[in-house]
Structure formats: structure tokens, C-alpha cells
Amino acid sequence: MADDKAIKSLIDGLATTQNDTSLADFVIVCEEQRYSVQHRLILALHSPVLAKTVKGEFKEATKRKVDLSDDGPLCVKALVHYFYALSYTLPDLDRHDEALILNHHVKMCIMADKYDIQPLKNLAISVFKGAAKDIARAQELSGAAALAYEAAGATEEIRKTIVDIGIERNLLSFKHDTSLGRVMADFPEFARDYAQTVEGQLAELKKAPSLVGGGARVRETEKRYKCPICNLTFVVYFQRAYVYYCPACASASGRQAQAWLSYVVDE
């Protein structure tokens, strides 16, 4: 069995051939872009779906060209890079636009599922989770949620991550930033998943050591806060130093977790 150094050497060598058109024997087209692929074997090794386009009686195999315009230029560019480097970057995206970045990872996951490229799908899921860990506003997550629920069969793990983050950070609001609420209106299964997850968490709370205060059972790691804007009291566990929002007045009450400690209500 090859050792890690040998595998890395092979991958590095493969990556250097990406722009060497002298070895190309197949073309991927996406809108106005054309990508020459070195050896149809590369497509066949990565994807059993694309393998059918490079061999057999399909017209793509005869013409040695396949059109992937339906997948969009950013995703296709990243896909071609993945064929050679086993990774993908964020081409032509504003790296500070978290919503666009999350959307891109969801699209990569969907495309990987479409072409049955499981390692790429796993990668897209992993980088989505990494990019989403610091999301603090609903509008940054809503586009990814819509994309994920539109292709629900391909995005199970991403959908679960979106629901968990939305609940953990109190991102669902129907008064101010209604982004997630609008996605739920379009995709009722999103609301169902949200409700089922909350129900499961409440069931766990009932099993945990608790204090009774203000009509809610509170885990010893949780606190009750009173919003300084609208006076709503709510129970939550701020796990990290994100910006958190009152469930009622949303963006008007955004504060770091540490700042919310000034508004703890004594039980």
C-alpha cells in the first residue's frame, strides 16, 4: 500500500498537469468557458456519472465534450480544480461575503451528489460546517437554507447544520430579520425540521437537572435574560462569544454573549 508521501507526490504531480493542454483529450464546457481535461480517465475515476460521458455510445463520448452549464461557472471551475487537486477554492467570490460563501458550498454539495462524487460531497459538507460556525445573522444563512431545502435529497447533513445553528443562535424572527421565516414559508419541511429539533431539545431539558423560574425549566448551564429593548424574558445558553439577538426584537438587540450577562434575570 502506498504511503502518505507517495500519495501526496501523486496528487501534487496531477495538480501540475491541470493547465497543460498538450495532454487534453476531453473538453468541459460551461457557458462561455472551456476546460480541457487531461485524459478522460480522470473524469471516469472521479464520477461514475461523468464516466458515461467519456465512454460508450453517448454523444458526449463521441464528440469528447460535455456541457455542464446548468451547474454554473463558479461551481464548474471549482469542480475542474477538484479533479486535479482533490480540493476546491472560492473563485471570484468576495471572501468577506459569508452568505455567498455558504451558498457556494451548498451548490458544491448538490453538484457532487448529482455526479455521485462522494469525496467531494463530504468535503463540501465539511467546509460548509466550518464556514457556518461563526454565522450570527439570519440573512447570512437564509440563502443557503433555501438552496439546501430545494435539493433536500442531496443536503441532509447541511440541512441539519442549518437547523442547529438557527436554534442555537436564536436566528428565527418574525418581526425584524424574517429571512429564515420566509424560507420556512417556501419550504414547510424546514419549519417541520426546526420544530422537531426544538421538541427533541425540550425533551432533553426535561431529563436534565433543572431550576423552575418564570414558567420555564432551566438547565443549570442556562440563564434567563431580559431584553433591554423590548423587555422580553427568554432562556438560552450562550455557548460562545457570538453576537446574539433577542427572539422578539432581533437586530435591534444584538450583543456579544458577554454583554448579555448584564441582563440576567435572577430566578
Do 83 and 38 form a contact (C-beta atoms < 8 A)?
Answer: no
Q: What does the pLDDT profile of the chain (267 residues) look like in tens digits? A: 567 777 677 666 666 666 666 667 788 999 989 888 777 888 888 999 998 888 866 777 778 888 999 999 999 999 999 998 899 988 666 667 889 999 999 999 999 999 999 999 999 999 999 999 878 788 889 999 999 999 999 999 999 999 999 888 888 866 667 889 999 999 999 999 999 998 887 776 566 544 333 444 444 457 788 888 888 887 777 666 567 777 666 655 677 777 888 888 875
Rounded-to-integer distance, Cα 198 and Cα 201, Å: 5
Q: What is the rounded CA–CA span in Å between residue 159 and residue 193? A: 9
Angle, CA of 106, 110 and 115, to the nearest 5°: 145
| Cα atoms found within 13 Å of the Cα of residue 56, Cβ hemisphere only | 10
User: Looking at residue 264, what DSSP letter applies?
Assistant: B
Q: Where are the domains of the chain?
A: 12-92, 97-106+122-207, 211-267
Distances 127 to 65, 86, 104, 118, 193 between C-alpha atoms, Å? 30, 13, 10, 14, 22
Reduced to 3 states (helix: H, G, I; strand: E, B; else coil), residue 234 is strand
Long-range contacts from 156-163, C-beta under 8 angstroms, 24+ separation: 157/125, 158/105, 158/106, 158/109, 158/125, 158/128, 159/190, 159/193, 160/193, 161/128, 161/129, 161/132, 162/132, 163/190, 163/193, 163/194, 163/197
Backbone Cα Rg of the chain: 23
Strands 24-30 and 65-67, by their bridges, are: parallel
> Of 158, 62, 145, 166, whose CA–CA distance to 112 is shortest?
158
What DSSP element (H or E) covers 219? strand 216-219
Per the CB < 8 A criterion, the answer to whether 182 and 142 are in contact is: yes
CATH number assigned to the domain covering 12-92: 3.30.710.10
pTM: 0.74
3-class secondary-structure state, position 41: helix
Residue pLDDT, tens place only, 121-153 = 999 999 999 999 878 788 889 999 999 999 999
CA atoms within 13 A on the CB side of 116: 9
